[in-house]
Amino acid sequence: MSDLLQKAWIERDGAIVVTTVDSKGVPNSIYATCVELSDDKRIVIADNYFFKTKRNIEAKSKATILFITKEGKSYQVKGEVEYHTSGAMFDWMKGWNPTKHPGHGALVINTSEIYSGKEKLL
Ligand SMILES: Cc1cc2nc3c(=O)[nH]c(=O)nc-3n(C[C@H](O)[C@H](O)[C@H](O)COP(=O)(O)O)c2cc1C
């Protein structure tokens, strides 16, 4: 299944949408383009300008990632998150995040579910 995610990820078109929720269940969605798939197939997002997103993560929100491929197929990835401000994942993010952005932290999505439309792939 991680191969499927990798194949779809390579074909993605444009910014991904990252959704978190606050402690009252209010959802918040942002666009992100400073994103990569790690060797162990986890979606990693550079925190350059998170505000509500950061608060929601601190409040233990899970995250949903939504993206579309060039062929127009949508993928939704859900999972628990980790937020790294040091260590290997943080250093790796610093390597690809454009230096004009601050790169405060690396948001890592530990995939637990994948959907394409209503079809559950994982
Ligand atoms: C096209 C586009 C790409 C963006 N990419 C990122 C990104 O990779 N990382 C980031 O921290 N913010 C990025 N932003 C900013 C976020 O979408 C958002 O404005 C920021 O996280 C503050 O919103 P929040 O308070 O809901 O977290 C991007 C914005 C746009 C319009």
The pLDDT of residue 1 is 61
The pLDDT of residue 3 is 87
Q: Which residues, other chains included, contact 11 with Cβ-Cβ below 8 Å and sequence gap of 6+?
A: 69, 70, 71, 73
CB 53 near ligand 1, within 6 Å: yes
Domains of the chain: 2-120 (2.30.110.10)
What is the CA(33)–ligand 1 centre distance, in A?
Answer: 8
- Given a cut of 50, the residues of the chain with pLDDT beneath it are none
What is the CA(16)–ligand 1 centre distance, in A?
Answer: 10
pTM of the model: 0.97
Mean pLDDT of the chain: 97
Atom of ligand 1 nearest to the CA of 104: 11
User: What whole-number distance in Å separates Cα of residue 11 and Cα of residue 8?
Assistant: 5
Over residues 25-53, the pLDDT tens digits come to: 999 999 999 999 999 999 999 999 999 99
Q: Which residues, other chains included, contact 36 with Cβ-Cβ below 8 Å and sequence gap of 6+?
A: 43, 44, 92, 93, 96
What is the CA(101)–ligand 1 centre distance, in A?
Answer: 11
